[in-house]
A and B are shown apart, each in its own frame.
Chain A
């Protein structure tokens, strides 16, 4: 099977001229509990293979699962944060299948009795409009093991002679969050899909129930997509694209499948209901297994577990622990910080909200916090392929240092361009802002005598400009300030220079 060339696709606009897309998104989130869903094995990422397994998660005869209390609480909190109803009584079910990623030959999941159902999440798009995504359900289940396919050329399952399985991940608590069909998004479908997953990630992060690292697989997204003739209101045959594990890929996968479905349908063909695999490198999907009787999971209630029946008091106590919803928090912070919509969006896109919050809490002005975390740091982090918070953490650059830097400016020791140099020194690992300023000899000349002398010589050298200012054209002062600063080799405060020039020319 080739993964480098895709099937024929129509252009996105052309596809939308004839068809309406409908989407359904299934997101799996690994909870950040210390132990697995049904046993006390640890859940650390990256442990040596098969060192976090026991008779329960290996499905050995006679082992009995017991539900992790924190996982149930997390599931209820997620449900509440998604505006869902919480089941007053629900059970686990066995999902039976034969695939060696579960040693039990079934996955313990929930079937027709999810813990949470009928909710919604409002997601904000780039243009500021809000799209409400309805949530069908959120249910509890367990993760599967990880397989290593041996003997094929590329480590893929195709062509492998056998597979090696590590069950460390098997049994880690998962919450699967399923949307209702997302309709009426038209050309915004890819953006809505991405914005939903992004908003969900923010929400789960704020709930502190998961580290939601898509690149490590603790949050994974499956994209269901179908097309129907424009305006028909019908639902077409869907495909389910798995393995879509970055925000950007969610958007790209929707766009690709829209074009592929449209090409098949407009050519008179029909869509096969199947699983498709997303290829991050080439940006296409390829056919996986066809949904068939192999997916007759023969669900039945799990006889080894008793029902989960949270009381109203329990649910309300958990509701009281919910954090401020991320969207409301953003609005509140924007107002508190006095940022424009554009500034706030840049800050959000750069993932700076928490860092700026900490910096402001440490004593910096919101403007300074935004300024220093957005410029040079962002450029360098981007070059390293990191986000600013993790880059800053790795370098040991802290909110306190931004506060210190701002203090050097407001205290009159540094002007803006000197502060930039000091900050670069901090990023170069030369020490704190004060240490860098000391080492690099950054210091505004406090001796106004030198500054006054420079002003006098500049005025003498520019009699025309000086005359204009005397005559009331105060805006011409800029040209003189520039020359004074040059004469002072930048070691002067521009505001003070301006003041002295204006005084000398009778405009002070």
Chain B
């Protein structure tokens, strides 16, 4: 398996919205590398002829009828929000701008 690069970690940090310093990036390359290596052990398991699994239960077509159930009250819905305004969730500025 190809080694994790510093660029890979920087890319992942960007996607996860985690701000890493240069020193932290260097450290994470090593630490994540060790974790990946450990997990890679499972690749030694013989999987020839085994279908990939995405769910532990052998079920299909679990559905519900199209019937309305009560929603939360707006107060309850917004209770966990760090900030709210006009009965809406208030979120920080979306675009980084000068």
- Contact surface of A with B, Cβ cutoff 8 Å: 33-35, 39-42, 48-55, 58, 60, 66-72, 89, 91, 96, 98-100, 103, 147-150, 157-167, 293-294, 296, 298, 301-303, 305-310
The verdict on A163 contacting B59 (CB below 8 Å), with A41-B69, A48-B74, A50-B74 known, is: no
| CB nearest neighbor in B for A304 | B55
Is B23 close to A, CB under 8 A?
no
Contacts of B64 in A (CB 8 A): 40, 66-69
Complex A-B: 25 CB contacts under 8 Å: A35-B67, A40-B67, A40-B69, A42-B68, A48-B74, A48-B87, A49-B74, A50-B77, A66-B62, A69-B64, A91-B54, A103-B89, A150-B85, A157-B95, A160-B94, A163-B94, A165-B88, A165-B90, A293-B11, A296-B11, A305-B55, A306-B55, A306-B62, A307-B61, A310-B61
Contacts of A149 in B (CB 8 A): 94
> Please, how many residues of chain B have a CB less than 8 angstroms from a CB on the other chain?
38
Is B71 close to A, CB under 8 A?
yes
Cα A71 to Cα B57 with chains together (Å): 23
Contacts of A148 in B (CB 8 A): 86, 88
Is B65 close to A, CB under 8 A?
yes
Contacts of A293 in B (CB 8 A): 11, 14-15
Q: Which are the 7 A-B pairs with shortest beta-carbon distances? A: A40-B69, A301-B54, A164-B88, A69-B63, A70-B66, A309-B60, A100-B91
Q: Are B67 and A34 in contact (CB under 8 A)?
A: yes
Is B72 close to A, CB under 8 A?
yes
Contacts of A49 in B (CB 8 A): 74, 86-88
User: B-side binding surface: helix, strand, loop or mixed?
Assistant: loop
- Interchain CB contact (< 8 A) of B60 among A150, A164, A306: A306
Extra A-B contacts (14), CB below 8 Å, given A70-B66, A161-B93: A41-B71, A48-B87, A49-B74, A51-B73, A54-B71, A66-B64, A68-B66, A69-B64, A89-B60, A91-B54, A164-B85, A164-B91, A167-B89, A302-B54
Cα A502 to Cα B55 with chains together (Å): 89
Is B19 close to A, CB under 8 A?
no
- Interchain CB contact (< 8 A) of A53 among B14, B72, B95: B72
Is B24 close to A, CB under 8 A?
no
Is B46 close to A, CB under 8 A?
no
Cα A167 to Cα B77 with chains together (Å): 10
Of the listed residues B61, B67, B86, the one surrounded by the most CB atoms of chain A closer than 10 A to its CB is B61
A129 to chain B, nearest CB (A): 40
Q: Are B87 and A35 in contact (CB under 8 A)?
A: no
Is B92 close to A, CB under 8 A?
yes
The verdict on A303 contacting B55 (CB below 8 Å), with A49-B87, A71-B66 known, is: yes
Contacts of A303 in B (CB 8 A): 54-55
B16 to chain A, nearest CB (A): 8
